[in-house]
Amino acid sequence: MKISILKALALSYCLLSEVAIAQSNDPMCTRLVVRKEIRDLNRDEWNMIRSVLQKLQEDGNWAKVARIHTENFAVGHNFAILMPFHREIVRQFEIAGQKYDPNFFVPYWDAARDFQNPAGSAVFTPDFIGGNGDPNRDSCISTGFQRDWVLQFTQPHCLRRAFNGPNNTIKPWYSPEYMSSIIQTSSSYDKFREAVELTIHGAVHLGIGAEMTTMQSPNDFAFYLHHSNLDRMWWKWQNARPENLMAYDGQKPTGGPVSLNDPNPGYPSTIVDVMKLGYRQMCYTYDDVVPLDFLVNQNPVFSGSGSGQRVNGGALMKAGKLPNFRSSVVTNQLRSLKNNTIERFFPALRNGDTNPNLFDLNFSKNEKKQKLRKRQGGPMAVPEMPPDEWIEMHKYDKNRVRSAVTRAAEFVNQLNAQGYNSPYV
Ligand SMILES: [Cu+2]
């Protein structure tokens, strides 16, 4: 027993020192763009982003990404590589856009905040991405900035959406509370990847429907907003514990364990190239992720001091602080859950660990002003299994999908039974 603890300590020491060595050789970014929640953009930012997106549609980059995603679909999903592959897709798209405006960035959509009634999200209003497709016009959208676009991949066509609930609704997604639980309870990279891929990743694609359920889903800008958000969650998990930062495990599509030196499909990079934001070509970060202490100490671009320059960003979140008052209200409610529920779903609360990256309970600044005061809170909706076609398209093991969805349903049922009132409802 004693020996195995020593062994584990020695091993983790080796891993940490390897990480430290890898870092010292990494070129640091001198400039970062800070990705924000789409509802937190100001007018000028959203206008700038839309005009760059228009140019990326005209210059063929839009179709190019849809092609890369399609060609690498089978190796880029259902395996460890999901997160680094999509990080590279979104980042290279962002770099392409920065040729038109150096301040361009891909916003994220914290879709979990809309989990109870996704179709009611402000993101689907005409000012943002527009709403459902029109069933009388072959499911083409008639609102939003892409409404008149002719998408080129694979054939010229309109952007189609087909919400998956009755009467223009979308079936429930997964709550911010559950996303926080996934971050806290995923003890390895690949467990985190699978828990995210089999729950909210699929639910958002399926909920929006049509284009978003195909391999050419990057045709819908919702793809970028959604994958920017999943990438944000990964960066949160990476910064929740020092040993998570460079953690990469799981299986290759061809069999055998993955390595940081594996190539990224569709791009000339390897996995290690995309692991750390703020280094190499990954010159962006998220407004609500607190980088680990040693990253802040090592890389001036995070502390905002010296030579580091942060574009469009106000202050990044500081360690030891919950994002705002509302999220501390949620946390207090979670603390009053039964011990075995906390033990199973919120081990950080049991341990008194307040690293803000262990929680994903933020509220959009604008939404807070507009709506939250009116919300009463209430019991959460139970998520559903994805349809068989989705499972087959990704070659998922149906039992693993069932166990991921069942766990999330048990979470909802336990919290509801204990009188938990979700403020996102
Ligand atoms: Cu994908």
Please give the distance, rounded to the nearest whole angstrom, from the Cα atom of residue 12 to the centre of ligand 1.
32
Locate 371 and state its tokens.
Answer: 């709506």
- Output the pLDDT for position 111: 98
Q: How many CA atoms does the CB half-sphere of 12 hold within 13 Å?
A: 9
Residue 306: CB atoms within 10 Å: 9
- Compute the distance from residue 233 Cα to the ligand 1 centre, in Å: 16
CA of 201 to the centre of ligand 1 (A): 9
Ligand 1 centre to CA of 81 (Å) is 10
User: Any long-range contacts for 293-296 (C-beta under 8 Å, 24+ apart)?
Assistant: 293/319, 294/242, 295/239, 295/245
Ligand 1 centroid distance, CA of 424 (Å): 27
Q: Per this entry, what is the length of the chain?
A: 425
Q: What 3-state DSSP class applies to 303?
A: helix
- Give me ligand 1 centre to Cα 13, in Å: 35
Distance 215 CA to ligand 1 centre (A): 7
pLDDT for 369:
54
Q: Are 270 and 263 in contact (CB under 8 A)?
A: yes
Q: Give yes or no for a cis peptide into 406 (omega within 30° of 0).
A: no
Give me the pLDDT at residue 18, please.
Answer: 43
CA of 187 from ligand 1 middle (Å) equals 23
3-state helix, strand, coil in the chain (%, to 5): 50, 5, 40
Please tell me the predicted confidence (pLDDT) of residue 356. 85
pTM for this prediction: 0.92
Instruction: Please choose, from the candidates 214, 213, 207, 209, the residue with its C-alpha nearest in 3D space to the C-alpha of residue 384.
Output: 207
What pLDDT was estimated at residue 330?
Answer: 84
CA of residue 190 to ligand 1 center, whole Å:
16
C-alpha 224 – ligand 1 centre gap (Å): 10
Between the CA of 75 and the centroid of ligand 1 the distance, in Å, is 10
pLDDT of residue 301: 87
Alpha-carbon separation of residue 380 from 182, 316, 383 (angstroms): 17, 31, 9
pLDDT of the residue at 311: 65
CA of 82 to the centre of ligand 1 (A): 7
**Tokens linked to 41:** 């953009």
CA–CA distance, 347 with 39 (Å, rounded to integer): 31
Q: How far is the CA of 217 from the centre of ligand 1 (A)?
A: 7
For the chain, 425 residues long, give each residue's pLDDT as a single digit of tens: 344 444 444 444 444 444 444 445 789 999 999 999 999 999 999 999 999 999 999 999 999 999 999 999 999 999 999 999 999 999 999 999 999 999 999 999 999 999 999 999 999 999 999 999 999 999 999 999 999 999 999 999 999 999 999 999 999 999 999 999 999 999 999 999 999 999 999 999 999 999 999 999 999 999 999 999 999 999 999 999 999 999 999 999 999 999 999 999 999 999 999 999 999 999 999 988 989 998 988 998 887 665 566 665 555 655 555 556 567 778 888 999 999 999 999 999 999 887 889 999 887 666 555 555 556 678 999 999 999 999 999 999 999 999 999 999 999 999 999 999 998 89
What are the chain's domains?
Answer: 29-320 (1.10.1280.10)
Element (H, E) at 104: none
pLDDT (0 to 100) of residue 93: 98
Between CA 259 and CA 160 the distance in angstroms is 38
CB 279 within 8 Å of CB 295: no
Tokens of 158: 């309109």
Separation of 26 CA from ligand 1 center, angstroms? 28
